[in-house]
């Protein structure tokens, strides 16, 4: 203590002097110990929770990547028979001179592939004659309209547009009349 504090305490009467109680000191020490223990417990809980969350995050990332791999596997397994059909068609048509059986074979294979992709949720959409919609179409070029009813409408389709469910996975490439 400083000299000033000592002088002030000496000048005080017995009633005015601060009471230092050993019990109060013990209580504050035990309170401090309790708070330190509580802090350690909360810190431990925090670290455990953080570790659990980190493990959860890593596990979900791994599960998502596995799901993506297996989804692609399912699609490829469905497409493999079409590839086999193309292989057989190529071998069978090596010495054929008439084009009609070749056309029919290609049409059959095309329909098979189209059915497989539709069963997986893939669908095409028509754009010719429709009003141009930038959400599902990409304008490749513009041509002059022959009449006012064609303005802003699609007059030709360069590439068909496709959706997987409700999501556009390829925009239709179109020619728009102005």
> How many CA within 13 A on the CB side of residue 51?
6
**pLDDT tens-digit readout, 2-17:** 455 545 555 555 545 5
Q: How far is it, in rounded angstroms, from Cα 19 to Cα 117?
A: 89
- Ordered by start, the domain boundaries in the chain are 23-120, 122-178
* Contacts for 157 with CB less than 8 Å, ≥ 6 apart: 126, 127, 128, 172, 173, 174, 175
**Residues 128/157, Cβ–Cβ less than 8 Å:** yes
Helix (H) or strand (E) holding 21: none
Average confidence score pLDDT of the chain: 86
Strand partners, 163: 123, 168
Confidence of residue 1 (pLDDT cuts 50, 70, 90): very low
Q: How far is it, in rounded angstroms, from Cα 36 to Cα 165?
A: 57
CATH for 23-120, options being 3.30.450.40, 3.30.565.10, 2.40.110.10, 3.90.20.20 = 3.90.20.20
**pLDDT tens-digit readout, 109-144:** 999 999 999 998 999 999 999 999 999 999 999 999
CATH for 122-178, options being 3.40.50.720, 2.30.22.10, 1.10.10.10, 2.40.110.10 = 2.30.22.10
Q: pTM, whole model, 2 decimals?
A: 0.58
**pLDDT tens-digit readout, 65-75:** 888 878 778 88
Domains 23-120 and 122-178 share a fold: no
DSSP string covering 39-50:
HHHHHHHHHHHH
- Sheet strand arrangement including 172-177: 137-143, 172-177, 154-159
Residue 132 DSSP code: P
């Amino acid at each position: 203590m400083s000299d000033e504090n000592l002088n002030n305490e000496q000048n005080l009467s017995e009633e005015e002097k601060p009471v230092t109680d050993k019990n109060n000191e013990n209580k504050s020490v035990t309170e401090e110990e309790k708070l330190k223990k509580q802090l350690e417990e909360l810190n431990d809980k925090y670290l455990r929770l953080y570790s659990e969350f980190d493990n959860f995050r890593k596990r979900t990332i791994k599960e998502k990547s596995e799901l993506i791999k297996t989804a692609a596997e399912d699609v490829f397994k469905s497409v493999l028979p079409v590839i086999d059909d193309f292989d057989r068609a190529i071998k069978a048509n090596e010495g054929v001179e008439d084009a009609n059986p070749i056309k029919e074979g290609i049409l059959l294979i095309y329909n098979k592939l189209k059915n497989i992709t539709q069963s997986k949720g893939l669908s095409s959409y028509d754009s010719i004659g429709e009003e141009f919609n930038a959400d599902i179409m990409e304008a490749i070029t513009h041509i002059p309209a022959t009449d006012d009813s064609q303005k802003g409408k699609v007059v030709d389709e360069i590439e068909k547009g496709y959706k997987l469910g409700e999501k556009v996975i390829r925009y239709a490439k179109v020619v728009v009349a102005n």
